[in-house]
Structure 1
Amino acid sequence: MKLTVLGRSAAVLCVTAAFLAACGGDSDSDPTGDSDSQYVDGGTFTMSLAGDPGKLDPQSSASSQLFAVNQLAYDTLFFVDGESGEIGPQLAKEWTVDGTTVNVTLNEGVTCSDGSPLTATTVADNLAYVGDPKNKSPYLGTFVPAGATAEADDAAGTVTITLAAPAPFVLNGLASLPIVCDAGMKDRASLADSTLGSGPYELTEAAPGDHYTYQIRDGYTWGPDGATTAEEGMPDTVVMKIVENEGTAANLLLSGDINAAMIQGPDAKRLDAQGLFHTETEAMVGEQWYNHNEGHETSDAEVRMALTQALDFTELASVSTAGEGHLATTFASLAPASCPGDSISGALPAQDVDAASAVLDGKKFTFLYSSAAGAAVSAAAELAVQQWEAAGAEVTAKGVDETALQGAIFGTGDWDIAWVPLNVSSPDQLVPFLSGPGMADGGTNFSGIDNADYAAGVEAANAMNGTEGCDTWLEAESALVAAADIIPFANNVVKTFGNGAEFEYPGTFAPTSIRMLAE
């Protein structure tokens, strides 16, 4: 549940320009398999982030930047294989799902960065914390089903999760939930600028706005599918460096000053031309939200439809992806997508500038988008403004950094239209953002969407078993698009390039896959 604004690096939401992130994606090489590359132990791996992650409490925000750094210091119960979509072991070694009961058995010997053991009680406490609405975690209803409760048996190392209602993709959600260790659970304030997790690295230096430095943990053996920190080529130090300008990040990568950067704009072509190693992740890079809440012109369904009809989304998709992407087809598109298909193109209102002009003439709107999303997205935003103004609207466009964008979306509400791509792999993870309580009522439905057809479809789909409900999920999404409540419009293959190192980026950054290369 990046929420994450598509920039370079997370719920995922998981990639550039995502509010939410869940696991998925592919790589064009295998740094952990049979490779002809020469690996060297130790050293420093430096990766760029398009924005500062802010408060480091891993359950306080789903921004892409926080989601990226979370992977270094915190583990999840499971992981999702980026190719098969199968659930694999991480903190949990065994599990069963029987109706509304999930039984989890933890790996033995898991330790936290402070040396304490990770217990079943601590895991249950994490689920209770996220599940309590007063804590306002964006992961409630996204990675932890609303109403779920958990009981722990420390002697047996088991956690029993009881769901309030069927949750067909519950394991996928738990595979994205960072688990905080006991000391952090007892002192949440300490998590703002330090880490208390069981992950492969521990934060040693925080310089907000500039960089965050992490040191490897010896003896780590419980990573995704048994990954350890003893593998040849693992760096001793990982630095996450804040580089807001994509062109600057590309230059630093080419010069060898950084080892990894996610690039989604025109700079990707010149990096490709240099033959640099890269991974690829299919991601949504264009998703148009309207503020449905009172006090905004966009609270009127007729106005939302007119703003939609004014635009040529095929052209916007091409411009926002520098000609490399395509129109979005589903809301949950991160590979491996649980419900592939097309819920968008058949429901998308056709462009009709005359109809739009009859409604929009003289109306004023504030339009926000991420300045960290790259030059192509900025160009697409300018094009959208031109098309709205051609239909008579007065639009003030603001390219803002991710901190300001999230502050508006989740705080001030000072926006009418926003481009905020949410990237997830299963459609249930989006439900809290597309329905239910709004921010004022402790929910995460920040745009105030209230679509009865969508809500009915979600209820029906949740009663079905996993992918058996996919057609119903897609029909529910189509209802949102047909009503112009929200318009996902552009997907692209986003590349994360490497220089001096190889790694995997399956939707989210995978630190145990980093391999430093000999010069």
Structure 2
Amino acid sequence: MKLTTIRFAGSAALCASLALAGCGGGSGSDPESQGQVVDGGTFTLALGSDPGNLDPQSSAATALFTVTQLAYDTLVGVDTASGEIRPQLAEKWSVAGTTVKFTLRKDVTCADGTALTPKVVADNVAYVGDPKNKSPFLGTFLPAGAKAAADDAAGEVTLTLAAPAPFVLNGLASLPIVCPGGLSDRKGLAKATAGTGPYKLTEAVPGDHYSYAIREGYTWGPNGASTATPGMPDTVVVKIVENPSTAANLLLSRELNAAQVTGPDAQRLDKAGLFAARTTGILGEQWYNQAKGHATSDPAVRLALTQALDLGQLRTVLGAGQATPPTTLTVLEPLACPGGKLADALPAHDPAAATEALKKIAGKTLTFAYPTTGGSAATAAAELAVQQWKAAGITVTPKAQGGDALNQTLFGTGDWDIAWAPVNVNSPDQVVPFLSGPGVPDGTNFAGIHNADYDASVKKASGMAGAAGCADWLAAETALVKAADVVPFANQQIATYGVKARFETPGQLIPTSIRMLDR
């Protein structure tokens, strides 16, 4: 099991480096003032970590989620301005209780020329829905227990849910659909693509770059987007650039067309006047390993470790002065449940109380994992946190890790006590599997959280349609934060900078929004 962080974001996560990346809003400076649209060419995008296994249903890590958008489509999309569900692979749909019906477009083809049929969609649901396959999208983008039936003659797929799912369409808008060739050869998907998307993978050099070629005749993108649109690049090259300062330098030297950059490097790119598409994401989010045998399995210890921190100072350092207090656990636009005030629920900074409470684990050394994708700002913030814990009498060993290594730590080895791993989504039901239910390896609850108040509010909210349950969803999140089960402490406008190109980044860069410019 893997999750995404905000570049985590993916996804941000996506979104992140460790963040589930959904559909959100993006904005940028006026691209027309930076040049005229030119057709074709190569668009070079930097990623802060390698996506690893390219199977689009194997991980929710942001790096993979980002490249998945190039080669794969979803049943529906979400309008970034209004939040309304829009057609994509499905041209029509209906939701009635626990029955969701889709009518597929008839002109959709896979990159190998085969047609996309309702049976293919149903097979995707069966694969993700089978717990044995350990897809992180089960319970996140696809409701647990969902079953699909195909009617190829009518061009319809009927999804039967085990229970009402208030934001089911929002989740399916992030579930990539794999074509028959990939379904029959899952191992082959590790280094190849088998999708209906606007691009097809042509070269994979792990740790260095991934190259994609445009597909002719693609007309079923978001809101009817087509690869025949002038300005779309013929080739997309995704380069792995782990250091944000290096990515910023490559942008300024015009060796990159796009890169997500945060912290001090973002400030110098802003000063240089570069185009930037922006989306809000959780930048700082702290978790504790509650598994048996860890000091952090004790609620009093988790609370004390939180009280030892000056979260306002950490926010300032991590966000280079640009971060804002947390609001909800689901911040990607368009928000399903806006209006949260999680900053008010955070345990207050109380070094004296923390020092007293932490005496019970005196002599223990805790392991603190955090992502390298935040660059120098993340390192400085992590060092500050370690100093504040030391002042409270606790020794904490920091471990900076790349996206893939951090995922392996959280979902594999379990060798951590404290972690910074922002999870970014846009509807509260999508984050439930990370906050409750089975832990790893049987589920995605990597921290092993069991909060009865959260579970009760989630159960109540899940029985209501859409936004009608938002008050209970927000109450559920508040219960977690008050108990220090999860500690969000920094939101930020995350910028993806562009040179000789414009694009939109609602949570992830939209391939069909890319337009190459002459300068």
Q: 1:64 aligns with which of 56, 62, 65?
A: 62
The CA distance in 1 between the partners of 2:501 and 2:2, in whole Å, is 26
Which residue among 47, 52, 55 is the counterpart of 2:53? 55
Which structure 2 residues correspond to residues 244-283 of structure 1 after superposition, within 5 A? 244-283=242-281
Measure, in 2, the Cα distance between the counterparts of 1:147 and 1:368. 33
CA contact (8 A) 1:9 1:50 kept: no
Aligned-residue CA RMSD in angstroms? 1.5
Between 1:79-88 and 1:291-300, the stretch displaced more is: 79-88
CA contact (8 A) 2:18 2:403 kept: no
Amino acid of the structure 1 residue aligned with 2:123: D
- 1:153 maps to amino acid: D
Aligned-residue offset at 1:30: 7.3
State the match for 1:225 in structure 2.
Answer: 223
1:178 maps to what in 2?
176
CA contact (8 A) 1:328 1:490 kept: yes
Aligned mates of 2:341, 2:270 — CA distance in 1: 32
1:516 matched residue in structure 2 = 516
Distance between the aligned counterparts of 1:424 and 1:8, measured in 2? 11
* Distance (Å, rounded) in 2 between the aligned partners of 1:500 and 1:8: 25
**Cα offset, 1:360, TM superposition:** 1.8
Deviation at 1:345, TM superposition (A): 2.0
Q: Work out the CA distance in 2 between the residues paired with 1:113 and 1:17.
A: 29
Q: Which residue of 2 aligns with 1:435?
A: 436
Tell me the equivalent position of 2:489. Answer: 489
**In the superposition, relative to structure 1, how do residues 44 and 2 fare at CA in structure 2: closer, same or farther (>3 Å)?**
farther
Moved more, 362-371 or 56-65: 362-371
CA contact (8 A) 1:292 1:299 kept: yes
Which residue of the partner structure matches residue 464 of structure 1? Answer: 464
Q: Is the 8 A contact 2:2 2:444 kept in 1?
A: no
The answer on whether the counterparts of 1:260 and 1:498 sit within 8 Å (CA) in structure 2 is yes
The corresponding residue for 2:376 is: 375
Contact 2:330 2:428 in 1 (8 A): yes
How many residues were matched structurally? 516
- Partners in 2 of 1:389 and 1:300 — Cα distance? 19
Q: Structure 1 stretches of 5 or more lacking a match?
A: none
In structure 2, the CA distance between the partners of 1:120 and 1:26, relative to structure 1 (3 Å rule), is: same
DSSP 3-state at the match of 1:368: strand
Q: Give the Cα separation in 2 of the matches to 1:129 and 1:30.
A: 43
Per the alignment, residue 208 of structure 1 pairs with 206
1-structure distance, mates of 2:429, 2:29: 31
Secondary structure of residue in 1 paired with 2:344: coil
- Show the counterpart of 1:45: 43
Instruction: Sort the Cα spacing of 1:380 and 1:419 in 2 relative to 1 into closer, same or farther, 3 A.
Output: same
Inter-partner Cα distance in structure 2 for 1:261 and 1:125 = 35
Contact 1:18 1:285 in 2 (8 A): no
1:322 to 304, 314, 320: 320
SS at match of 1:345: helix
Q: Tell me the distance in 1 between the aligned counterparts of 2:107 and 2:222.
A: 15
Q: Report deviation, 1:82.
A: 1.5
CA deviation string 1:151-210 (max 9, x = no partner): 011111110001111100000000000100011111111100000000000000000000
What amino acid maps onto 1:299 in structure 2? S
Select between 368-377 and 193-202 the one with higher mean Cα deviation. Answer: 368-377
Cα separation, 2, equivalents of 1:16 and 1:104: 30
SS in 2 for 1:512: helix
- Contact 1:263-1:497 at 8 Å conserved across structures: yes
| Structure-to-structure mapping, 1:15-164, within 5 angstroms | 15-28=15-28, 37-164=35-162
Distance 2:3 2:474 in 1: 21
* Contact 1:292 1:300 (C-alpha < 8 Å) held by counterparts: yes
Partner secondary structure for residue 513 of structure 2: strand
Amino acid at match of 2:28: D
Aligned-partner Cα distance in 2 for 1:429–1:35:
38
Q: Deviations over 1:247-271 (max 9, x none)?
A: 0000101111110010111111111
Contact 1:2 1:422 in 2 (8 A): no
Equivalent residues of 1:343, 1:475 under 8 A apart = no
Query: 8 Å contact 2:7–2:16 — kept in the other structure?
Result: yes
Does the aligned pair in 2 maintain the 1:8–1:261 contact within 8 Å? no
Paired residues for 1:279-294 under 5 Å: 279-294=277-292
The worse-fitting range, judged by mean Cα deviation, of 254-263 and 355-364 is 355-364
- Measured in 2, the distance between the counterparts of 1:67 and 1:225 equals 20
Equivalent position SS for 2:407: helix
Question: Cα offset for 1:15?
Answer: 2.0
What is the one-letter code of the residue matched to 1:479? A
Distance in 2 of aligned mates of 1:372 and 1:272: 19
What code does the residue aligned with 1:249 have? A
Query: Which whole-Å CA distance do the structure 2 matches of 1:142 and 1:204 have between them?
Result: 30
Contact 1:2–1:14 (CA<8 Å) still a contact in 2? Answer: no
Superimposed CA distance per residue, residues 260-316 of structure 1 (whole angstroms, 9 cap, x where no aligned partner): 010111111111111111101100010000000011000111110110111111111
Q: C-alpha separation between the residues in 1 aligned to 2:423 and 2:89?
A: 26
The SS at the match of 2:46 is strand
Letter in 1 for 2:389: W
Q: Which amino acid in structure 2 is aligned with residue 111 of structure 1?
A: T
- Per the alignment, do residues 152 and 160 of structure 1 end up closer, same or farther by CA in structure 2, a change over 3 Å counting? same
The 1:354–1:23 alpha-carbon spacing in structure 2 relative to 1, beyond 3 Å, is same
Counterpart CA distance in 2 for 1:8 and 1:499 is: 22
Secondary structure at 2:324's aligned position in 1?
Answer: coil
Q: Which runs of 5+ in 2 are unaligned?
A: none
> CA 1:35/1:178 → structure 2, altered by over 3 Å: closer, same or farther?
farther
* One-letter identity of the residue aligned with 1:61: S
Partner of 1:447: 447
1:309-388 aligned within 5 A: 309-361=307-359, 362=362, 363-388=364-389
Q: How far apart, in 1, do the equivalents of 2:428 and 2:115 lie?
A: 35
Any runs of at least 4 consecutive aligned residues in structure 1 with deviations exceeding 4 A, and if so which? 34-37
CA separation in 2, counterparts of 1:366 and 1:384? 12
- CA deviation digits over 1:218-270, x for unaligned, max 9? 00000001000000011000000000000000010111111001011111111
Q: How far is 1:81 from its partner?
A: 1.4
For normalisation by structure 1, the TM-score amounts to 0.97
CA distance in structure 2 between the partners assigned to 1:212 and 1:202 by the alignment: 11
1:5 is aligned to 5
In the TM superposition, residue 107 of structure 1 has moved relative to its aligned partner by 0.9
* 8 Å Cα contact 2:2/2:411 also seen in 1: no
Amino acid at match of 1:403: D
Q: Percent identity?
A: 62
Between 1:504-513 and 1:409-418, the stretch displaced more is 504-513
Superposed, 1:471-482 pairs within 5 Å as 471-482=471-482
When structure 1 is superposed on structure 2, of 314-323 and 65-74 the one drifting more is 314-323
Q: Does 1:394 align with 2:392?
A: no
Asked if structure 1 preserves the Cα contact closer than 8 Å seen for 2:2 and 2:407, the reply is no
**Partners in 2 of 1:140 and 1:487 — Cα distance?**
24
Q: In 1, are the aligned partners of 2:146 and 2:161 still within 8 Å (CA)?
A: yes
1:343 Cα shift? Answer: 4.3
Give the structure-2-normalised TM-score.
0.97
Secondary structure of the residue aligned to 1:450 is coil
